[in-house]
């Protein structure tokens, strides 16, 4: 066996010394406050059975799509479900990707061109940052949810290229959101192409879980939306929503779409089935009730000062220091409350936190009890 490169060993040792070494663990038994499965769709039997029926109806009892969409992997159900997604989101078109990571890396490495400029929120998801690093456009961050800082940076800009702004409708670590009406207005008035990642809004906002932009009736005023299915839909994959021209460009130039095996038929069937479930489920209302109850109990237990303000399914309690936040997480886990610590460098040093993910299936007594335990540990 060959030796391990020295620098790899050094970087691992640094993580150990900082108490930030990541490890894998199997799902534990307990009350779920850590999964992104906001509506419980990942274990929904109706979605599962409907997906199987969908595949049988289309005579697609196979395990794999066999190739890229441009060669052998483009089945009729891919295009049918893309049309279903586009109709649900009131978008001209939709195009499927294997994951949210693939969609973001592909979009931001291929759509903004050399000479273009992209402004991104400083807390934007790692997949978007990675895509920007791979692309040819220049990119600059602006302060989190700070429209004034963005305006200042845009005013100082001198470019003959296009200008893009990218944000999330719900941020994955803070659970907060930008002032979308003001941001949309600013971008439209300045001919800026706005791109919004709706990963943590799908299934959570809107009467049918359409996402925050549709909930605010702003969806027709943005250049593109990215929706991912591994959160509120309990499925796998993602889609980029936009114009027919955008879809045509992606098919021709986006490498994470072109050079990969197409998303498997059973994943496509699950996405379709989950969207059908959104149209009549009671889980969205139950989730919203749990979010409201959580917020009420945070205030009642005098915990408001340690939580980031959020009306989403993500509620984050700031506990600075990797060692400290891990210790409190372990205390809660010992009492069968599954809450994960988010450590630096995933978040900034001093911004370490417990990230509570709320679900439609959480009971009020579970929410009250876990917050009581948290207060005791703090």
Q: DSSP assignment of 279-337, as one string?
A: TT-SHHHHHHHHHHHHHHHHHHTT-GGGBPP-SSSEEEEE--SHHHHHHHHHHHHHTTE
Contact between 317 and 300 under an 8 Å Cβ cutoff? The reply is no
Tell me the β-bridge partners of 195: 166, 224
What pLDDT is attached to residue 1?
56
What pLDDT is attached to residue 41?
98
Cis, bond preceding 99 (omega within 30 deg of 0): no
What pLDDT is attached to residue 303?
97
Closest CA to 202 of 287, 132, 261: 287
Cα 137 to Cα 117, 157, 164, 197, distances in angstroms? 6, 14, 10, 19
Tell me the β-bridge partners of 225: 196, 241
Assigned CATH topology for domain 282-377: 3.90.1150
Contact between 312 and 204 under an 8 Å Cβ cutoff? The reply is yes
Q: Are strands 238-242 and 193-197 parallel, antiparallel or unpaired?
A: unpaired
pLDDT profile of the chain (378 residues), mean per 10: 86 90 84 97 97 93 93 96 98 98 98 97 97 97 98 92 98 97 98 98 97 98 98 97 98 98 97 97 98 98 97 98 95 96 93 97 98 96
Q: What is the pLDDT of residues 205-219, one digit of tens each?
A: 999 999 999 999 999
Task: Give the torsion sign (CA, 354, 235, 108, 197).
Answer: negative
Task: Give the torsion sign (CA, 148, 151, 157, 161).
Answer: positive
C-alpha–C-alpha distance, residues 212 and 200, integer Å: 9
Q: In what order do the strands lie in the sheet with 117-121?
A: 93-97, 238-242, 224-228, 193-197, 163-168, 117-121, 138-142
- The second-level CATH assignment, the architecture, of 45-278 is 3-Layer(aba) Sandwich (3.40)
Domain layout of the chain by residue ranges = 45-278, 282-377
**Measured torsion, CA atoms of residues 60, 62, 66, 71, in degrees rounded to the nearest 10:** 0
- Tokens for 180, please give them: 């979308």
Contact between 299 and 320 under an 8 Å Cβ cutoff? The reply is no
The pTM assigned to this predicted structure is 0.94
What pLDDT is attached to residue 171?
97
What pLDDT is attached to residue 257?
98
The residue length of the chain stands at: 378
What pLDDT is attached to residue 24?
83
What pLDDT is attached to residue 182?
98
C-alpha–C-alpha distance, residues 81 and 273, integer Å: 10
């Amino acid at each position: 066996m060959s030796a391990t490169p020295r620098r790899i060993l050094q970087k691992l040792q640094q993580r150990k010394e900082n108490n930030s070494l990541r490890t894998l663990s199997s799902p534990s038994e307990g009350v779920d406050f850590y999964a992104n499965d906001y509506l419980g769709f990942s274990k929904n039997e109706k979605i599962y059975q409907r997906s199987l029926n969908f595949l049988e109806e289309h005579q697609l009892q196979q395990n794999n799509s066999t190739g890229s969409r441009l060669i052998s992997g483009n089945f009729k159900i891919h295009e049918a479900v893309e049309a279903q997604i586009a109709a649900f989101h009131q978008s001209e078109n939709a195009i499927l990707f294997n994951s949210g990571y693939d969609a973001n890396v592909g979009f931001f490495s291929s759509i903004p061109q050399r000479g273009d400029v992209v402004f991104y929120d400083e807390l934007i998801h790692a997949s978007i940052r990675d895509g920007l690093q791979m692309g040819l456009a220049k990119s600059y961050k602006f302060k989190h949810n700070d429209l004034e800082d963005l305006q200042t940076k845009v005013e100082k800009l001198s470019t003959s290229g296009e200008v893009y702004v990218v944000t999330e409708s719900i941020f994955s670590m803070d659970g907060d959101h930008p002032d979308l009406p003001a941001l949309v207005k600013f971008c439209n008035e300045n001919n800026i192409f706005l791109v919004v990642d709706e990963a943590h809004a799908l299934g959570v906002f809107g009467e049918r879980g359409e996402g925050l932009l549709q909930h605010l009736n702003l969806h027709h005023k943005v250049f593109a939306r990215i929706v991912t299915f591994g959160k509120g839909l309990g499925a796998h994959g993602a889609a980029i929503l936009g114009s027919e021209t955008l879809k045509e460009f992606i098919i021709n130039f986006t490498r994470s779409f072109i050079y990969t095996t197409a998303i498997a038929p059973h994943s496509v069937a699950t996405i379709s089935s989950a969207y059908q479930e959104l149209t009549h489920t009671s889980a969205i209302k139950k989730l919203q009730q749990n979010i409201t109850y959580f917020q009420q109990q945070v205030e009642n237990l005098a915990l408001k000062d340690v939580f980031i303000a959020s009306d989403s399914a993500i509620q984050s309690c700031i506990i600075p220091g990797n060692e400290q936040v891990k210790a409190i997480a372990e205390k809660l886990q010992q009492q069968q409350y599954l809450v994960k610590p988010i450590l630096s460098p995933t978040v900034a040093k001093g911004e370490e936190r417990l990230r509570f993910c709320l679900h439609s299936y959480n009971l009020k007594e579970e929410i009250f009890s876990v917050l009581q335990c948290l207060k005791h540990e703090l």
